[in-house]
């Protein structure tokens, strides 16, 4: 996120796209309600589903699945055509504007309407509203990223924000809402295949030498590693053993049958987790560890704020915290890894990670600090790019619309999209262990449009078979107006009807994220 969460209270207009915020980020949704209902912000919702926040929105653009780039280009076309762009900001702080202008020239409201299904006048009105009610904030989530064009989607949103001069200002910015607790912190700590902590490239000589010296090793590999979606297909071939920690790919990864088959090809698999997940059941060794309330450390939340986590409970049985498990295995493998406490780990982070250098444990006893914070006397940086972009000038990318990898056809006439419901979380590893949440949402449901249900002779609560090119599920139908005609929505929390057994494993070429949000299916009444 370029801006803190509470900055939406300073926004005059808020654009939500690809985020069912009330279900997935309810605390942030509360800020949006406050911004609209108490501070007079205008809300634009761009979503194929009639999410709850549509009820307080000033505009709802219901576009077809996977047409985000075309719609964003259409908004930028109108802004430029009507000379509503922040030209002085563009001239001073950006590059590539002429290329963008040339690219979006053909994305007229009428042309974009044909692609997206959004009325041309709505595109015009939304563009005018977003460009003129400054400052404007953009919030998005996995409805934007989980596409074969996910990287292009994000770049397009960055271009839209820069076009209006909203990056680097309070109440503005481009703000991805992280999908899980501490995902931001995991990425910051090098939980990516191409970087050390703080996004220092593994193939950068300076960073490489610095970490080798700090860790007292002669050399470190300069090779960029694999992403999760590259590891799984390589299982049993290039990869013989796999160590899975806090992840449940059997349910969370696309094309689940292929994932299960790949993992079964491994010579050896270790799973480190707090519960026996569907993936852990396939493991050769299971390492039970502690949950968030049973250990010390820090979380870095979605707005880049580093916060203390304190042990509140003793762990059950013989469970160890993750750092103890990892350190012990490291020692058994011949590398001494001795940290006396979580604060000692943080001290190493401070010494090796410029953006975390000033975030000492002593500073976050009572209140978190937002990175980048390069020194102990630095206050932290709630808003990024205030005085300029880190790379110099912000770049406009000219991006053409490309359709999803799999569209509906005569054999598979419906599009499936997946996501979460408010009552459950991710693969249900934690939320489905509690009776209260299970009573609120006890079983998997497939949301089907009312008119589609009439045509298919499907009633609310009846069972249907949903079939894709990769698998078939039997699930109960929830007939509503939440989804558009020709679309079915399923949550992926439930092992009984694992939605990702159906989804397409084709990847975004840059991020390597699968296209969870669009795949072709057919729906049949179950016998």
The pTM score is 0.91
- The band of 356, judged by pLDDT with boundaries at 50, 70 and 90, is very high
What's the whole-number mean pLDDT along residues 224-242?
Answer: 91
> Is 80 exceeded by the pLDDT of residue 377?
yes
Lowest mean pLDDT among 116-125, 170-179, 332-341, 491-500: 491-500
Whether residue 159 is found in the same domain as residue 77? yes
At 254 the pLDDT is 84
pLDDT for 219-231, tens place per residue?
Answer: 888 899 999 889 9
Q: In terms of domains, do 34 and 155 share one?
A: yes
Judge whether 153 lies within some domain: yes
User: Distance (Å, rounded) from C-alpha 125 to C-alpha 13?
Assistant: 13
- Report the CATH number at residue 113: 3.40.228.10
Q: What is the band of 435 on the pLDDT scale with cuts at 50, 70, 90?
A: confident
Q: Please report the pLDDT score of residue 403 as a whole number.
A: 94
The verdict on 59 and 173 lying in the same domain is yes
Residue 154 has a pLDDT of: 95
Averaged pLDDT for residues 232-246:
92
Looking at residue 332, what is its pLDDT?
94
The region of weakest confidence among 326-335, 407-416, 432-441 is 432-441
In degrees, rounded to 5, the angle at the alpha carbon of residue 525 between the alpha carbons of residues 521 and 527 is 125
Residue 415 clears pLDDT 80, i.e. is over it: yes
Candidates 49, 46, 93; CA nearest to 70 is 46
The answer for residues whose C-beta is within 8 angstroms of residue 434's C-beta and 6 or more apart is none
Residue with the bigger pLDDT between 340 and 111: it is: 111
Asked if residue 220 and residue 151 are part of one domain, the reply reads no
Looking at the structure, tell me whether residues 111 and 152 fall in a common domain: yes
**Would 403 be classed as within a structural domain?**
no
172 in Cβ contact with 136 (< 8 Å): yes
Q: How many domains does one find in the chain?
A: 3
Q: What is the mean pLDDT of residues 475-491?
A: 93
The confidence band for 508, taking pLDDT boundaries of 50, 70 and 90, is confident
Q: Are residues 167 and 196 in the same domain?
A: no
**Domain closes at, from 177, 212, 240:** 177
Q: Which of 162, 177, 192 is the endpoint of a domain?
A: 177
- Say how far apart CA 322 and CA 245 lie, in whole Å: 9
- Does any domain span residue 517? yes
Q: Indicate if 69 and 110 belong to the same structural domain.
A: yes
pLDDT value at residue 437: 86
Query: In this predicted structure, what is the pLDDT of residue 257?
Result: 85
**pLDDT tens digit string along 130-154?**
999 999 999 999 899 988 999 999 9
Q: Are residues 172 and 206 in the same domain?
A: no
Residue 505: which domain range? Answer: 414-525
- Binned at pLDDT 50, 70 and 90, residue 422 comes out as confident
Task: Name the more confident of 391 and 485.
Answer: 485
pLDDT, residue 49, reads 93
Is 195 found in the same domain as 56? no
Domain termination site, one of 177, 197, 215: 177
Of residues 11 and 338, more confidence is placed in: 11
450 belongs to a structural domain: yes
pLDDT(527) > 80: no
Same domain, 156 and 305: no
Residues 253-275: pLDDT tens digits? 888 888 899 999 999 999 999 99
Q: At 483, is the secondary structure helix, strand, or coil?
A: coil
Taken as a whole, the chain contains a residue count of 527
Q: Are 44 and 57 within 8 A, CB to CB?
A: yes
pLDDT above 80: residue 361: yes
- The pLDDT-based confidence of 438 (bands split at 50, 70, 90) is confident
Q: Dump pLDDT digits (tens) for 179-200.
A: 788 889 999 999 999 999 999 9
**pLDDT value at position 347?**
94
pLDDT at residue 518, as a whole number:
94
Q: Is residue 235 domain-shared with residue 250, that is, in the same domain?
A: yes
Q: Is residue 390, in this structure, part of any structural domain at all?
A: no
Residue 399 lies in a domain: no
pLDDT of 122 > 90? The answer is yes
For position 441, which CATH number holds? Answer: 2.40.40.20
Give the mean model confidence (pLDDT) for residues 377-396: 92
- Which domain CATH number covers 198? 3.40.50.740
In the predicted model, is pLDDT for residue 390 greater than 90? no
For the chain, how many helices (H) and strands (E)? 18, 21
Closest CA to 486 of 460, 432, 454, 448: 448
**Domain for residue 389, yes or no?**
no
pLDDT of residue 75: 98
* H-run or E-run covering 476: strand 472-480
**357 and 498 fall within a common domain:** no
CB 239 within 8 A of CB 266: yes
Give me the residue label for tokens 């679309």.
487
Average pLDDT of the residues in 46-59: 96
Say what the pLDDT of residue 192 is.
92
Residue 377 lies in a domain: no
């Amino acid at each position: 996120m370029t801006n803190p969460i509470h900055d939406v209270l300073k926004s005059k207009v808020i654009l939500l796209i690809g985020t069912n915020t009330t279900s997935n980020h309810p605390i942030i949704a509360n800020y949006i309600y406050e911004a609209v209902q108490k501070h007079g912000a205008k809300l634009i919702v761009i979503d194929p589903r009639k999410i709850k926040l549509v009820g307080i929105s000033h505009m709802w653009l219901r576009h077809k699945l996977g047409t985000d780039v075309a719609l964003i280009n259409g908004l930028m076309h109108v802004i430029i055509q009507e000379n509503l762009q922040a030209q002085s900001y563009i001239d001073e702080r950006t590059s590539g504007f002429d290329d963008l202008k040339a690219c979006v020239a053909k994305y007229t409201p009428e042309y974009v309407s044909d692609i997206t299904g959004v009325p041309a006048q709505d595109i015009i009105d939304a563009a005018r509203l977003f460009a003129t009610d400054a400052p404007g904030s953009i919030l998005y989530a996995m409805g934007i990223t989980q596409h074969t064009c996910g990287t292009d989607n994000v770049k397009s949103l960055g271009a839209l924000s820069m076009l209006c001069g909203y990056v680097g200002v309070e109440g503005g910015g481009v703000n991805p809402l992280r999908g899980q607790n501490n995902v931001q912190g995991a990425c910051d700590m090098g939980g990516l295949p191409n970087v050390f902590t703080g996004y220092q490239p593994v193939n950068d000589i300076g960073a490489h030498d610095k970490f080798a010296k700090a860790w007292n090793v002669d050399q470190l590999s300069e090779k960029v590693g694999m992403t999760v979606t590259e590891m799984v297909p390589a299982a049993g071939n290039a990869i013989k053993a796999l160590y899975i920690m806090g992840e449940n790919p059997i349910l969370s990864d696309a094309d689940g049958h292929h994932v299960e088959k790949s993992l079964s090809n491994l010579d050896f698999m270790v799973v480190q987790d707090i519960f026996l997940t569907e993936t852990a059941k396939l493991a050769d060794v299971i390492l039970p560890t502690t949950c968030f309330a049973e250990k010390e450390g820090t979380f870095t939340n979605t707005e880049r704020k580093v916060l203390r986590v304190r042990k509140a409970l003793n762990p059950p049985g013989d469970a160890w915290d993750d750092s103890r498990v990892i350190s012990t295995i490291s020692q058994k493998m011949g590398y001494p890894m001795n940290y006396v406490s979580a604060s000692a780990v943080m001290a190493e982070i401070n010494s090796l990670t410029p953006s975390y250098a000033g975030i000492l444990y002593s500073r976050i006893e009572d209140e978190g600090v937002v990175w980048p914070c390069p020194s102990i006397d630095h206050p932290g940086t709630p808003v990024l790019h205030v005085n300029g972009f880190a790379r110099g000038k912000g770049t406009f990318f000219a991006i053409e619309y490309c359709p999803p990898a799999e569209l509906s056809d005569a054999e598979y006439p419906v599009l499936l999209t997946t996501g979460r419901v408010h009552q459950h979380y991710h693969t249900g590893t934690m939320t489905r262990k509690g009776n209260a949440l299970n009573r609120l949402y006890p079983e998997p449901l497939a949301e089907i449009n009312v008119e589609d249900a009439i045509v298919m002779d499907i009633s609310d609560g009846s069972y249907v078979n949903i079939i894709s090119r990769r698998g078939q599920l039997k699930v109960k139908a929830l007939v509503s107006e939440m989804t558009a005609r020709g679309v079915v929505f399923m949550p992926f929390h439930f092992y009984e009807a694992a939605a990702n057994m159906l989804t397409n494993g084709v990847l975004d070429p840059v991020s390597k994220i699968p296209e969870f949000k669009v795949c072709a299916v057919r729906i049949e009444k179950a016998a």
